[in-house]
Chains A and B, each alone.
Chain A
Amino acid sequence: MASSSVSTHPTKRPARLSQSAFAWILIAPAMLFIAVIVAWPLAETFRLSFTDTRIGPNYSYVGTENYQDLAESRKFKQTVSRTFYWMFLSVSLKLVLGLIGATLLNAAVPGRALFRILVLPPWVIPIAIGMIGWLWLYNGAFGLLSGVLQSLDIVDKSFEFLAYKRSAFYSAVVADVWVGVPMVTLFLLAAMQGVSRDLYEAAWVDGASRWYRFRRITIPQIMPVIVSMSLLSAIFTFNSFEIIWILTEGGPRSSTTTMIIDSYKTAFSSRKFGEGAARTIVIVCLLGLFSIAYLWVLNKVTKYYGTK
């Protein structure tokens, strides 16, 4: 009986796709989408970077000439180091301020829900509008900051923040930090709230001071989030375009020109698409390397600090 029941039905199963073929079909739309909006433009940029394409329809392949020019250009090297300085300074400030902000927002004070909401505006309002606000603040003739500094006798005449190389650079950093801090704050706050209360109570019972608890419990416990936030923040800051563009357009005298601004100016202001493409390929490579290094660090940190 048993053998006959097995032999009567074996061909009734419908023809089926193999599991992997089915999986490919499922992810195909997403793959296609990514191919069209990411892979193809990237490949085009890569191709463009080996040409001398300008506004006209004719161009020719120039080999690695664009890259050689970059390697020999003193100005480009300055731009690269300026970009990394910009990134380092801005990300450090965002993390430090974010950590302080998250700690304060995590404190049991009355009305802390309100404070948590009040942190959001820099992040929520469109960057362009925020930057117009900063333009007004930095304005020498009618700007609030200059006015306050004058009335406090710190400067004796009106000060145009965005008019000098150094002050323009640091003013742009301040505006960038202003935009970036809320996100860092909220992510760190969320991480802090995930730390078990028992750990703090146990440490408190053992006599640990507030600072000691912060140093030996909070920081290690949120370290994986600190590391991943710094990676995200670093990439955002590296690629931060509209903040600088609206405030200074990379000036004065290139003092706020980061790699992304430089690429834009080369490609779209000077219409040297080939050279601009070469610059963006350098950015992609640098950020790629940077991300790999960061993920490696993140992995180490997560392992070191253990899971909860």
Chain B
Amino acid sequence: MSTLDLKSVSKSFGDAKVLHDIELSIKDKEFVVFVGPSGCGKSTLLRIIAGLEEATKGTLHIDGEDVSDAHPVDRGISMVFQSYALYPHLSVFENIAFPLRVAKMPEAELKERVARAADILQLTDKLKLKPGQLSGGQRQRVAIGRSIVREPKIFLFDEPLSNLDAALRGDMRVELSQLHRNLQATMIYVTHDQVEAMTMADRIVVLNAGRVEQFGTPMELYHHPATKFVASFIGQPNMNFLPAKVTGTGTTGLAVQIDGGPALTLPVETSSAAVGDSVEVGIRPEDMAQGSGGLKLNVSVVERLGGTSITYGTTDAGTRICAALDGVANVREGETTELVLDPKDCHVFDASGTVMRRLQAPELAN
């Protein structure tokens, strides 16, 4: 058992408040990813959990026990740093053994544990080398090895893949997911890369300006973003937002007139909306298709990737749009095309950026 509960955690550096009353409950064996843009407070939150920073307010509980003032070792956490923080003068073996040497573990047990970690991480033939002789991915594994030998309750990762090249990042993502399955441990992972978040997380915490925007599974976040911020942050390319006016409300949905586009009835909860309100209709680039009677798009750039054609342009109302069309779609730069929007794929955000819940999202999302 290793659960983590944050209760009303706030953090200020001088006058600057970087975290506002964070409430989180992380379950046993869960892989949770903190994601958000630079400066959103995700690393600070991780450092508070690690014990490297003290929360200005609020408490931290691991397995129900208040550990707000406990040392990281007593918290039962270990951390992998973005820079890996390997000791350049020590061999791979000694780097991995470091926490055990600190704990004065008997030599025999220490050797066994390091050997086991090295085996899991495929470092057995590298134990005598220095970190400087390893590749980026191997260094990353050494850093992970150092964190697993202590057998902590909770693993913390601070942007561990950001120093690797794209191909290696993909491989390490898979390795980390496997590691999580093998170790059956609670893991908290910080990244600014939404792809890492979507692919690895059991649940994702989206942070924005020191507040939790949404905490849910990747599919929840994708299909039911709670706010416009989450909707724009999750998904690649980013979601399009079309300004619209509410023309009618009812139990089956919301009737809207898109600026410079068609009138649609969207299947969302309408309790908070009134006729005449300004809203934004969100639609993902991959949910758009060419067809007649839809939204007119003045195409400016087409990026043909083979399988898809990422098409950029503006509507007649001047809204910038990105659509992921078919690889062989008949679109040309400088010409116009029409895009049809399927009402069940549309998200609606009110003026404050809060979503009106979709009623017909795919089943997997619920």
Contact = CB atoms under 8 A, between A and B. Distances in A.
Interface stretch (B78-86, B161-169, B199-207): B78-86
Contacts of B89: 220-221, 223, 304-306
Nearest to A219: B89
Given A196-B83, A205-B51, A306 B72 contact: no
A201 B88 contact: no
A299 to B, nearest CB: 15
**What band does the interface of chain A fall in when counting residues whose beta carbon is under 8 Å from B?**
20 to 34
Interface string B133-148: 0000000000000100
B102 A306 contact: no
B353 to A, nearest CB: 36
Contact of A202 (B51, B79, B103, B130): B79
A216 interface: yes
B111 interface: no
Contact of B52 (A196, A205, A212, A216): A205
A221 to B, nearest CB: 7
Interface in A15-62: none
Contacts of B77: 205
Given A216-B87, A305-B88, A305-B89, A206 B102 contact: yes
B85 A198 contact: yes
A196 to B, nearest CB: 7
A199 B95 CA distance: 11
Nearest to B101: A216
Nearest to B99: A206
Contact of A198 (B72, B81, B102): B81
A212 to B, nearest CB: 6
Contact of A199 (B82, B85, B102, B132): B85
Interface of A: 196, 198-199, 201-208, 212, 216-217, 220-221, 223, 304-308
Given A199-B87, A205-B78, A220-B89, 19 more contacts: A196-B85, A198-B85, A199-B85, A201-B81, A201-B85, A202-B79, A202-B146, A203-B102, A204-B52, A205-B50, A205-B52, A206-B99, A206-B150, A207-B72, A208-B98, A217-B87, A220-B87, A221-B88, A306-B89
